[in-house]
């Protein structure tokens, strides 16, 4: 692959990531007022990612159902539970459209402050 073509592909991937982030941020903000439009933004973001062969950022990846591919919004299309264990905690997402379970996101605890 030539250097010129690789640069073009990198530009395309960079633009695709920017557009994906913009769409998903807007979908998250607008979901309470217009659910249909927010779901459409989620679909568009997935299509852009597939077309440009770019991974959706991990922050947003957990917000898609593995089964029906819909955009998950906590409280409306997804149920979110906090599962605690002795070593760490996880968020469990359940899609309310298809009842698919299993989306898990690790919760990182902030470092505790030492008292002196």
Q: Looking at the structure, tell me whether residues 22 and 52 fall in a common domain.
A: yes
Interior angle at CA 72, CA 33 and CA 14, nearest 5: 95
Segments forming the whole domain that contains residue 86: 63-116
Q: Looking at the structure, tell me whether residues 67 and 57 fall in a common domain.
A: no
Q: In this predicted structure, what is the pLDDT of residue 12?
A: 93
Candidates 79, 75, 73, 76; CA nearest to 91 is 79
Q: Looking at the structure, tell me whether residues 78 and 113 fall in a common domain.
A: yes
Q: Looking at the structure, tell me whether residues 21 and 40 fall in a common domain.
A: yes
Q: Looking at the structure, tell me whether residues 74 and 52 fall in a common domain.
A: no
Write down which residue in 30, 61, 92 finishes a domain.
61
Q: In this predicted structure, what is the pLDDT of residue 111?
A: 65
Candidates 65, 66, 67, 62; CA nearest to 77 is 65
The yes-or-no verdict on residue 85 having pLDDT over 90 is no
Domain count within the chain: 2
Q: Looking at the structure, tell me whether residues 85 and 116 fall in a common domain.
A: yes
Q: How confident is the model at residue 2 (pLDDT cuts 50, 70, 90)?
A: confident
Q: Looking at the structure, tell me whether residues 56 and 9 fall in a common domain.
A: yes
**What's the CA gap between 43 and 108, in Å, rounded?**
29
- Mean pLDDT in residue range 60-83: 85
Q: How confident is the model at residue 24 (pLDDT cuts 50, 70, 90)?
A: very high
The percent of the chain in helix, strand and coil, each rounded to the nearest 5, is: 45, 20, 35
Q: In this predicted structure, what is the pLDDT of residue 110?
A: 65
Q: Looking at the structure, tell me whether residues 72 and 92 fall in a common domain.
A: yes
> Residue 107: what are its φ and ψ, rounded to 5°?
-100, 125
Q: Looking at the structure, tell me whether residues 53 and 88 fall in a common domain.
A: no
Q: In this predicted structure, what is the pLDDT of residue 115?
A: 56
Q: In this predicted structure, what is the pLDDT of residue 107?
A: 72
The yes-or-no verdict on residue 48 having pLDDT over 70 is yes
**What's the CA gap between 59 and 79, in Å, rounded?**
17
């Amino acid at each position: 692959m030539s250097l010129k073509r690789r640069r073009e592909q990198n530009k395309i991937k960079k633009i695709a990531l920017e557009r994906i982030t913009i769409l998903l941020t807007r979908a998250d903000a607008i979901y309470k007022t217009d659910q249909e439009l927010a779901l459409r933004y989620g679909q568009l973001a997935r299509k852009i990612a597939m077309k440009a062969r770019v991974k959706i950022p991990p922050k947003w990846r957990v917000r898609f159902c593995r089964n029906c591919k819909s955009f998950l919004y906590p409280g409306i299309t997804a149920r979110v539970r906090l599962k605690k264990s002795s070593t760490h905690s996880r968020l469990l997402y359940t899609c309310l459209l298809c009842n698919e379970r299993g989306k898990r996101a690790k919760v990182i605890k902030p470092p505790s402050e030492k008292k002196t």
